[in-house]
Structure 1
């Protein structure tokens, strides 16, 4: 398997764009990525992309051009973006192609995601009890975690406060205004202990990344960021994941732990080598739990980490430097690729006001999706 590099990155701002469809936002991102790489659409040899609410990604060829390119649709919940990237990376690393596209977009209705129990192998009663409402599940999960590991509501608030502070510095973020801690903690409660400022929202946006073999990158003289490794894992026995109807007495493994370990082993590095990280933050509690599940700290250490500012842009391990899902919102097809886009910008030194000042060399991204799968990608400069 040969080395693969990201040589082009494009993004359509997240949030709400009433005059532009989800697919149009994806096309916008692809054209931006092509310009970044100095390529034409006809140069792309294969493509992988996904969308949960805006139609099949392969229909983008109507606008981009009918070149006959093999374009594979990807659907993997919130991990769709990470899975699209993994597919494109495998295609180039295998030697089958020299240039590939990974893309994703979405345009969700306002309000919460409306998941169907049947789609996840669950009976109708599961939805009738309200358990298909993800805000309720995430609240129950973080409640349990807080009690087991001594995490305070204030720490939940600090995660959100950081997200909005970073989002205010990010051109592609939806929420561009800072929100103070007291406002976050005293906002209307959605599901205890999470207030409305501690949740992300379904949103709109598009992201595109162009991948190249090392030979092609050198031939083009492109500015590439190496994909050190990608790992995707589903849930093991006795794990406690989204839409699970009960929690096992015996604690099992976690898909994020499995994906993280596999990614680190494949890259030949450890958590201590990471300079900037993007972690799934569907809500404040998710970022806290994922800090430990990805190996960056022990369970319970997050209380001290947040109090000391270790995850700030200027901290020991900057986390969600563009504001994450909390500030950007979550268009399912694009969200995981936004994380990769942000790390590419950081490793290239293009982060602007949110740029990590220590010249990061290793970027880590983690995305988590229902009903319990995770994708981790490690980039190196």
Structure 2
């Protein structure tokens, strides 16, 4: 028997700006918004998957949503939490276990930097005492090497962040909604060379929910469904250089992002050249640069020409992070991967408002990457 087709029939999102609401309140709001968008009641959901890193257990949302007995699985997979919840919901639809499934991701992080504990990552306490749990340091080392090997300039990193803030201005849900130019970004204070303060995202808050349906249910609804052609999650292979890596072997590192993207395109029967709009993990500016090539959208080093030319802007040949990405929205860990999918759904529906990509885009791609080397990718079509 062939697998069921999976369609996104409802999408809900909250503001990512700082508010007094807790993470669970945000999640409930996002779920209710997604259900309303789909035109379905909570009682119609047959399976639910969701999670957060720091804001509580997703399954407890039933206390507010309704005690229907629905199977609700908690997911916690770092920055790929939302993507992993989505993959789980897709599996429920494809297998025929559910005809309506929910994926929800949410978080509310305290102000300041993330403070991971070495023991949670299988590392000795000395790893933290020696200062190696500092994620900004890892991101800087990785992009330093990449810039050296492929001729990427610091100004190109600043232009990535400049674009993110410009797109955030157009996004009513974004946290950072003021334009910042490349010169100010370069002068904003060095955190870890070559990454300055305004090149980084910040821990934040927000929630996103998606309602998935099979074709039979989607055909009964009045909305505008978007086909979810592929959803995959992969962990690192040997030879990768990842967040919290205690060492890296000689030679070119393997890439979990490249692995996940390649498999997503294979599953969808499409390639990078078929994509009209995409979302790439941009924990900081260097991540977006590297992920453009790792996900197959350009050759290594081509970013130095493409980004200054405006190719990745909303009106460019390949718009990237049209909603401002993590840099403008902040990173509530559980929500980020689903925020990316929500944005692609809105773009393919033609409902992205001031940030709408021209020309009626019909294909989209999302990519999220997180510690200690996990990536989730999706391919969607109108």
Could you tell me which residue of structure 1 aligns to residue 5 of structure 2? Answer: 3
Query: Whole-Å Cα distance in 1 between the matches of residues 24 and 218 of structure 2?
Result: 28
Q: Deviations over 1:273-331 (max 9, x none)?
A: 00000000000000000000000001111000011110000000000000000000000
Could you tell me which residue of structure 1 aligns to residue 18 of structure 2? Answer: 16
How far does residue 188 in structure 1 lie from its aligned partner after superposition?
1.1
How far does residue 221 in structure 1 lie from its aligned partner after superposition?
3.5
Could you tell me which residue of structure 2 aligns to residue 320 of structure 1? Answer: 321
5 Å matches for 1:187-198? 187-198=188-199
Could you tell me which residue of structure 2 aligns to residue 361 of structure 1? Answer: 362
Q: Is the 8 A contact 2:23 2:205 kept in 1?
A: yes
Q: Which runs of 4+ in 1 moved over 6 A?
A: none
Could you tell me which residue of structure 1 aligns to residue 240 of structure 2? Answer: 239
Could you tell me which residue of structure 1 aligns to residue 129 of structure 2? Answer: 128
Query: Whole-Å Cα distance in 2 between the matches of residues 169 and 15 of structure 1?
Result: 14
Q: Is the partner of 2:227 in helix, strand or coil?
A: strand
Could you tell me which residue of structure 2 aligns to residue 333 of structure 1? Answer: 334
Could you tell me which residue of structure 1 aligns to residue 293 of structure 2? Answer: 292
Q: Is the partner of 1:14 in helix, strand or coil?
A: coil
Query: Whole-Å Cα distance in 2 between the matches of residues 161 and 58 of structure 1?
Result: 38
Q: Deviations over 1:227-280 (max 9, x none)?
A: 011111110111111100112113342111111110111111110000000000
Structure 1 gaps, min length 5: none
How far does residue 68 in structure 1 lie from its aligned partner after superposition?
0.6
Q: Is the partner of 2:369 in helix, strand or coil?
A: strand
Could you tell me which residue of structure 2 aligns to residue 87 of structure 1? Answer: 88
Q: Is the 8 A contact 1:236 1:252 kept in 2?
A: no
Query: Whole-Å Cα distance in 2 between the matches of residues 26 and 194 of structure 1?
Result: 32
Q: Is the 8 A contact 2:280 2:292 kept in 1?
A: yes
Query: Whole-Å Cα distance in 2 between the matches of residues 252 and 306 of structure 1?
Result: 24
How far does residue 189 in structure 1 lie from its aligned partner after superposition?
1.0
How does the TM-score come out when normalised to structure 1?
0.99
Could you tell me which residue of structure 2 aligns to residue 352 of structure 1? Answer: 353
Could you tell me which residue of structure 2 aligns to residue 138 of structure 1? Answer: 139
How far does residue 223 in structure 1 lie from its aligned partner after superposition?
1.6
Q: Deviations over 1:346-373 (max 9, x none)?
A: 0000010000011110010000011001
Could you tell me which residue of structure 2 aligns to residue 58 of structure 1? Answer: 59
Q: Deviations over 1:60-80 (max 9, x none)?
A: 111111111100000110000
Query: Whole-Å Cα distance in 2 between the matches of residues 65 and 269 of structure 1?
Result: 39
Q: Is the 8 A contact 2:4 2:96 kept in 1?
A: yes
5 Å matches for 1:168-179? 168-179=169-180
Root-mean-square deviation (CA), in Å? Answer: 0.7
Q: Deviations over 1:4-25 (max 9, x none)?
A: 000000001102112x110100
Q: Is the 8 A contact 2:37 2:223 kept in 1?
A: no
Could you tell me which residue of structure 2 aligns to residue 115 of structure 1? Answer: 116
Q: Deviations over 1:152-196 (max 9, x none)?
A: 000000000000000000011000110011110111111111111
- 1:47 equivalent to 2:41? Answer no
Could you tell me which residue of structure 2 aligns to residue 253 of structure 1? Answer: 254
Structure 2 gaps, min length 5: none
Query: Whole-Å Cα distance in 1 between the matches of residues 203 and 17 of structure 2?
Result: 9
Query: Whole-Å Cα distance in 2 between the matches of residues 212 and 259 of structure 1?
Result: 24
